[in-house]
Structure 1
Amino acid sequence: MTSRVPGFYKLSPEQRLEMIAGHLGLTENEKKLISGKHRFTAEDADRMVENVIGCLPVPLGVAVNFRVDGEDLFIPMATEEPSVIAAASHAAKFTYDTNGFSTSYSGSIMRGQIQVTNLKNPYAAMAKVYENKEDILELCNKMDQTLVSFGGGAKDLDVQVIQGSSEKMVVIHLLIDTKDAMGANAVNTMAEAATPMVEKITGGNVVLRILSNLADKRLVRARATFHNPFQGDETKMATFLSACELAVADPYRAATHNKGIMNGISAVVLATGNDTRAIEAGAHAYASVSGRYQALTQWEREGDSLSGTIEIPLAVGLIGGATQSHPVAKLSAKILRAKTAEQLAGIIASVGLAQNFAALKALAGDGIQKGHMKLHARNMASMAGAKTNQIDDVVRIASEQGKYGFDDIKEIIQSLNEEE
């Protein structure tokens, strides 16, 4: 199977689905689920969240040209924003002949925090927690024997004394290997179960006992070489690298730089039924761990090519929650052919790196808006009242004129209506 599909964007949705289905062996029922012919109903939604009144469908597209750790992949991405999927596909094309993306994974350790207050001697309390570490871990592991049987479970403690505004408190970090699950439920259950023992050991009062979304022991790194993206244009190369420097040095630029990365990452996270809010929170917190908010990527020049790297916490899984209860999320994982959380995380990080490259390349050239507005024109045509059979003509004429303003689109529609 090759993910290099020239002209994929020119195919109809039905043709794209048939191509993907043929490569991956999707059943007729699976194709109907993805295409929306078997609707995700309010009754389905009511089993997932509260107070349901309906559903909000989000477009599901596929990025092409990706090769991750030697394997060609089609990447399902759920997003409402035009240009995101096209940008990722465009970027990945520059890496395909340089072996694509290579990834590494620090492991699947999550932190569960237990906050202990009202301590007379907080440093002595910290020492007592360490003295009773094995008992605490044993108690935690009794809460999830299934996870332990797969090699996961509570593995260690990290205990800190933190100065608050009114007192010094002890904060215990349970270090829990959640394996192929995101792990929030397992971590929270263990943290709550350990609370009575912790209070007895320390003589204090436990306040919070919950996981941290700063998953700094669940780091993913992705690397790729983007081959000769500027065809020897030194001005564009210098502009690209200068923009990267600013994102490292200036938090105002870094916020937008990282938002672009998350355009890609969140789209794959959502498509696979993982927790977009947890991933976003962890990523932005990690961007600040140095004490100053900065870029999640680094870029270096290699002759006429660019070497990019990303390091980011990604607490994603293939077990539990919407990853299993949402039928299309399950199908997205099948399309990705991800068998483990490690594989899934590596793919997601690669998409984030590709998305960042695409944004920086656009900034180094004609700017973001030219390409974005061209792809946004279909939305604008619909907003401006174009009939279904007019939309392609509106986009074509707008592209020929190079005008994508709302008033420009309305004028084109009016002209088409007068011709009918």
Structure 2
Amino acid sequence: MGSKTSCIPGFRDLDIASRRRLLATFCAIDEGELDEVLGGAALDVAAADRMVENAIGALALPFGVALNLQVNGADYLVPMAIEEPSVIAAVSHGSKRARAGGGFRASADEPLMIAQIEAHEVHDPVAASRRIREAEGELVELANAAIPGVRARGGGARRVDVRDLGEGFVVADVLVHVCDIMGANVLNTVAEALGPRIGELAGGALGLRILSNYCERRLVHVTTRIPVESFGCARTSGRDAALGVASASRFAELDPHRAVTHNKGIMNGVDAVALATGNDFRAVEAAAHAYAARTGQYRPLATWQLADGGETLAGTLSMPMSLGTVGGALRVHRGAQIALRLLNVRSAAELAMVAAAIGLASNLAALRALSTEGIQRGHMTLHRRALATPLESGDVPMPSE
């Protein structure tokens, strides 16, 4: 976005046409194109019929923009697709709070994903594992021959790991650098290409050949440091609010029941970005929760604590993230294409860093609300607006979420 800022005072008070006009100016996108795509033509029936089986139409979700996000010194207007009231407002608020400390800092690991080839009824797993390891060079070459397009872009198979799972099961995990794609189709191609040779080397029955969505080597890391003095409001001092967030974070570390809801708040933000940009949010969810349980106890993906003698609220988040900026639904979904143009990211790694920062901002806003005024005050105000007509008529009881 260059020198432009993602802080846009009064954005929420504008009508939809005015918001689009402002975004068109900020993001150098033709206003007419925004009107056409976001006015209901993001996915026409013909495109839907090509994307899925037995299509009968397309289901719309609200498509909004989160403000105030700053990651690694760059500003972003972040497209989000979500049905739940208050999430975009919360993310924008959390991002604004983080700006007081310089926004978010983020990094992303290499986009390494796993293609799995499983063999069972293996009578000598130790020998089978040895043979597969000794053939690693051959297997890497065979894998790369199956994905020339990825190789041409600098990606491809890197190595082969072997694990004895017991009960006669042996699995070969092929690590593949997938560049800027999510990688599912490439990984499945690799798994199918290596299947017969792995089965031969294992000396057992060839089983499943498919990717793993647990991309534990494709992590994204986000941190933020917020001065406590800037964290207060008219009702709560900055120190009390920061102490409340740190205490709520510790609660999530100690109790899996709380950690699940803690992480759900993170995924409110992450999933909405993934969905808006045409990515597989179910894969992101599955990997995130597997990572949260990697120690044997389900734990929070993000934690908060006081630092610098109590003067700073420090937050950190690490999680696996398999997002792409090319391929998949992006080939045909005009809404997802527009979302990436609004976001203006240059790589899948940058998209992952933005999505994870949105998750941490969502978590910050939720914990601050929970530990000060309670989650319902802001959330239910927006929920009432979403259901304004039935609530005003008295026909619908107030939800108790």
Q: Normalising to structure 1: TM-score of the pair?
A: 0.89
Match for residue 24 of structure 2 among 13, 21, 25: 21
Match for residue 156 of structure 1 among 109, 134, 159: 159
Please report how far the alpha carbon of residue 29 of structure 1 lies from its aligned counterpart in structure 2 after TM superposition: 4.1
Instruction: Note if contact 2:384-2:391 (Cα within 8 Å) is conserved in structure 1.
Output: no
Please report how far the alpha carbon of residue 235 of structure 1 lies from its aligned counterpart in structure 2 after TM superposition: 3.9
* Distance in 1, Cα, partners of 2:40 & 2:258: 42
* Distance in 2, Cα, partners of 1:224 & 1:235: 19
Please report how far the alpha carbon of residue 224 of structure 1 lies from its aligned counterpart in structure 2 after TM superposition: 1.2
Instruction: Note if contact 1:274-1:317 (Cα within 8 Å) is conserved in structure 2.
Output: yes
2:232 counterpart residue number: 230
Match for residue 361 of structure 2 among 351, 354, 369: 354
Instruction: Note if contact 1:318-1:324 (Cα within 8 Å) is conserved in structure 2.
Output: no
User: Which residues of 2 match residues 116-135 of structure 1 at below 5 A?
Assistant: 116-135=119-138
Instruction: Note if contact 1:274-1:322 (Cα within 8 Å) is conserved in structure 2.
Output: yes
- Compare relative contact order (CA 8 Å, sep 6+) and give the higher one, 1 or 2: 2
Instruction: Note if contact 1:33-1:328 (Cα within 8 Å) is conserved in structure 2.
Output: no
Question: Are residues 118 and 372 of structure 1, via their aligned partners in 2, closer, same or farther at CA, if it must alter by over 3 Å?
Answer: same
Bigger shift: residues 293-302 or 346-355: 293-302
Match for residue 65 of structure 2 among 59, 62, 67: 62
The runs of 5 or more residues in structure 2 that have no matched partner are none
Match for residue 310 of structure 1 among 292, 307, 317: 317
2:195 counterpart residue number: 195
Please report how far the alpha carbon of residue 102 of structure 1 lies from its aligned counterpart in structure 2 after TM superposition: 0.9
Q: Structure 1 residue 114 and structure 2 residue 121: aligned?
A: no
Give a deviation string over 1:302-330, Cα, whole Å, max 9, x none: 33431111001000001111123201101
Give a deviation string over 1:199-241, Cα, whole Å, max 9, x none: 1112111211111111011000011123432364544333221
Please report how far the alpha carbon of residue 405 of structure 1 lies from its aligned counterpart in structure 2 after TM superposition: 10
Match for residue 249 of structure 1 among 247, 250, 254: 254
Instruction: Note if contact 1:114-1:173 (Cα within 8 Å) is conserved in structure 2.
Output: yes
Bigger shift: residues 323-332 or 56-65: 323-332
Q: Structure 1 residue 181 and structure 2 residue 184: aligned?
A: no
Instruction: Note if contact 1:33-1:327 (Cα within 8 Å) is conserved in structure 2.
Output: no
User: Which residues of 2 match residues 3-402 of structure 1 at below 5 A?
Assistant: 3-36=6-39, 38=41, 40-163=43-166, 167-227=167-227, 228-230=230-232, 232-302=237-307, 303-384=310-391
* Distance in 2, Cα, partners of 1:131 & 1:19: 59
Question: Are residues 235 and 71 of structure 1, via their aligned partners in 2, closer, same or farther at CA, if it must alter by over 3 Å?
Answer: closer
Instruction: Note if contact 1:257-1:295 (Cα within 8 Å) is conserved in structure 2.
Output: yes
SS, match of residue 155 in structure 1:
strand
* Distance in 1, Cα, partners of 2:376 & 2:398: 15
Instruction: Note if contact 2:20-2:35 (Cα within 8 Å) is conserved in structure 1.
Output: no
Instruction: Note if contact 2:245-2:304 (Cα within 8 Å) is conserved in structure 1.
Output: no
* Distance in 2, Cα, partners of 1:208 & 1:384: 52
Q: Normalising to structure 2: TM-score of the pair?
A: 0.93
Q: What is the aligned residue count?
A: 389
* Distance in 2, Cα, partners of 1:382 & 1:153: 55
SS, match of residue 100 in structure 2:
helix
Report the structure number with the largest CA radius of gyration: 1
Question: Are residues 32 and 245 of structure 1, via their aligned partners in 2, closer, same or farther at CA, if it must alter by over 3 Å?
Answer: same
Q: Which amino acid in structure 1 is aligned with residue 244 of structure 2?
A: T
SS, match of residue 146 in structure 2:
coil
Q: Which amino acid in structure 2 is aligned with residue 358 of structure 1?
A: A
* Distance in 2, Cα, partners of 1:301 & 1:133: 47
Indicate the percent of aligned positions where both proteins have the same amino acid: 41
